């Protein structure tokens, strides 16, 4: 039985992976968070890998406080860059395939067409820079890796835009939301399904000795695109909440970290190679 290690198991994606694990019962799972496995501690990782010997490691552990990272730079790089490096080194030693979750924030948002995996990153925030540094470590250390960049993640767990909007609507009759940042919401459950689909396909490719060069970087989000204002509007419509929603420009809502103005991700590569069917973001929001 193949073994899967999931780091960051208390986060949004970690929880969603646990939710669907019974659909993939031919794997043995080990879910760990920072209390059980600190990815910043290379020796602890090596010891853990020595005991568990995972065939796959899904790294969902990350420093994701985008604005706080502008001040807490060292911590962001420790987790997002050095943590990724530590995992890659242990994966190399134990012949483990690493599935690492990255972000649309590695891009500067200067494009007006969806970002492809071949587009060169140019992060404009500490968070984005730390995630890009982690990607580079993995690429240089470990041939057997999948880096999956995603965007605007939400789920029933943790902190995310959907939960924030619903919480604010409980006490407010009016909200202003940015209307000039364009991207794509991603249901974490859909991302979890995509990851497990990729792992299953990977095993199939290996068994058939097809020799497909499928390792590398991929983009995954739901299909379509919208502004944060559009996203909020659809959240309230879906939940039958009436609220006065006002669009505002980014300049009216300054934040410590810069956000990409445009960060729609092109999913052609992941759909072609792995045969994934990707739901539209509006459709997927209804299942949240």
Cα distances from 269 to residues 31, 92, 203, 214, 273, in angstroms, run 29, 25, 19, 10, 6
**Burial of 202 by CB count in 10 Å (0-12 exposed, 13-18 middle, 19+ buried)?**
buried
- 60-88 CB burial, b ≥16 within 10 A, e <16: bbbbbebebbbeeeebbbbbbbbbbbbbb
Would you call 127 a catalytic residue per the annotation?
Answer: yes
Longest dimension (CA), the chain: 59
77 Cβ contact list (under 8 Å, min separation 6):
126, 130, 133
Q: For the chain, how far is it from start to end, CA to CA, in angstroms?
A: 32
167 Cβ contact list (under 8 Å, min separation 6):
none
Catalytic residue among 127, 154, 218, 262: 127
* Residues catalogued as catalytic: 127
């Amino acid at each position: 039985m193949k073994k899967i290690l999931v780091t960051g198991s208390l986060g949004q994606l970690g929880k969603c992976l646990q939710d669907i694990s019974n659909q993939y019962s031919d794997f043995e799972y080990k879910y760990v968070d920072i209390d059980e496995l600190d990815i910043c501690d290379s020796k602890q990782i090596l010891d853990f890998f020595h005991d568990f010997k995972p065939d796959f490691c899904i790294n969902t552990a990350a420093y994701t406080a985008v604005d706080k990272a502008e001040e807490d730079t060292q911590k962001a790089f420790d987790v997002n860059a050095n943590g990724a490096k530590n995992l890659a080194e242990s994966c190399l030693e134990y012949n483990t395939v690493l599935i690492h979750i990255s972000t649309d924030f590695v891009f500067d948002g200067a494009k007006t067409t969806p970002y492809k995996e071949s587009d060169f990153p140019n992060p404009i925030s500490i968070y984005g820079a730390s995630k890009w540094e982690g990607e580079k470590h993995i690429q240089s250390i470990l041939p057997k890796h999948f880096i999956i960049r995603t965007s605007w993640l939400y789920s029933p767990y943790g902190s995310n835009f959907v939960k924030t909007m619903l919480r604010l609507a409980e006490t407010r009759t009016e909200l202003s939301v940015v209307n000039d940042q364009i991207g794509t919401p991603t249901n974490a459950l859909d991302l979890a399904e995509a990851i497990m689909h990729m792992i299953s396909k990977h095993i199939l490719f290996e068994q058939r000795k097809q020799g497909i060069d499928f390792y590398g970087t991929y983009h995954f989000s739901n299909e379509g695109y919208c502004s944060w204002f559009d996203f909020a509007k659809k959240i309230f419509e879906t939940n039958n909440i009436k609220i006065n929603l006002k669009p505002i420009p980014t300049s009216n809502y300054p934040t410590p970290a810069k956000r990409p103005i445009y960060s729609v991700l092109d999913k052609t590569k992941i759909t072609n190679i792995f045969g994934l069917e990707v739901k539209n973001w509006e459709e997927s929001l209804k299942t949240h």
